[in-house]
Amino acid sequence: MDKFWSEYPVVNNDLEEVIKIIKKNIKCKEKLVENAILELVNSGGKLLRPAFLIIAARFGEFKEDEIYPLAAVLEMLHMATLVHDDIVDDSKLRRGTETVQSKYGKDYAVYIGDFLFCRCFKILSEHSTLKNIKADSNVMSRICMGEIEQFSSKYNKQVSVKRYLKRISSKTAELFSLSFYSGAAASGCDERLARKLSNIGHNIGMAFQIIDDILDYTGSEEVVGKSIGTDIKQGLYTLPLIYVLEKKNSNLSSILDKESLEDKDIKEIADIVKSFGGIEKSRALAERYTNKAFNLINTLPEGENKNILLKTTEKLLVRFY
């Protein structure tokens, strides 16, 4: 497990219990499938979504037998989307290790992602309410629509900032928001507090994705854990590039019009994006979402739980390597 939560023993111990539930529920006769998922579980993810669900749940009456399975479901949903994303993107690396689709082939990867989805709803059927199942299903539908929107906008140099924000709201922020809301609702928090926590999750998710997209231009493969410039090569235009495209930069357009991009092209694109303020403007927007999250967190009930959320949000979002 990633060391992100090691400073907070209570959360860290909770996450260990969540991992046990995941490992129990991915057991199957087909050991290739089970081992592939185990490799993903053990690949060092930060477990942000289950952790945020747990933190939100501690603002109410924390019931381990309800909270841990819900947290496991959210991480498994996230894992399933990663497996399928890597198939579509033909990604070779994830968290610094070989992806499921690269190691086992696209066919197996499709079935592994589907298997994870099935196990999620099995756990929900045993440990959750119909309301939670409906909420999770709705979020998964919106995530799928976000993925479809991203695919349909490939190589589109007219993609707008508004469309980009709508996309990452569906793809990333939805699951963060659900994490906070599900934890709060399951622990009996009143609707006002649950909605506030949901909004915190939304703003964290938006800032997190923008920062992640910035790192595709400024980070390194060792730090980010995946190949740099992959989004550009695949025609996935994210915020730093979109800001510069809005300026009708002819040099940038001519490079993007090439049939295939080499590493030198990626470097030139990154240099243009930096020179024309794409990184700076993206950081400013990420900071706006970050500040919204902090402002809402500061209104939460006082206690260690609030302090953990403040510290981990800062650790997560103030991460410009």
Q: pLDDT by residue (tens digit) across 74-101?
A: 999 999 999 998 998 888 888 778 999 9
Domain span at residue 123 reads 3-317
**CATH code of the domain containing 24:** 1.10.600.10
CB within 8 Å of 87: residues ≥ 6 apart: 101, 106, 109, 110, 113
- More confident position, 37 or 127: 37
| Confidence (pLDDT) at 126 | 87
CB 201 within 8 A of CB 317: no
CB 239 within 8 A of CB 164: yes
| Confidence (pLDDT) at 59 | 97
Give Cα 256 to chain centroid, integer Å: 27
Read off the pLDDT of each residue in 283-297 and give the average, rounded to a whole number: 97
Q: Is 287 exposed, middle or buried, given 0-12, 13-18 or 19+ CB atoms closer than 10 A?
A: middle
| Confidence (pLDDT) at 281 | 97
Q: Which range is least confidently modeled, 11-15, 78-82, 229-233? A: 229-233
Compute the distance between CA of residue 45 and CA of residue 43 in angstroms, rounded to an integer.
Answer: 6
CB 244 within 8 A of CB 277: yes
Q: Which range is least confidently modeled, 28-37, 106-115, 213-222, 269-278? A: 213-222
Predicted model pTM:
0.92
- More confident position, 127 or 317: 317
Instruction: Residue 178: name the closest of 238, 110, 237, 120 by CA.
Output: 120
| Confidence (pLDDT) at 321 | 41
| Token pair listed for 80 | 């399933």
| Confidence (pLDDT) at 234 | 87
Number of domains present in the structure of the chain:
1
**DSSP state, residue 302:** P
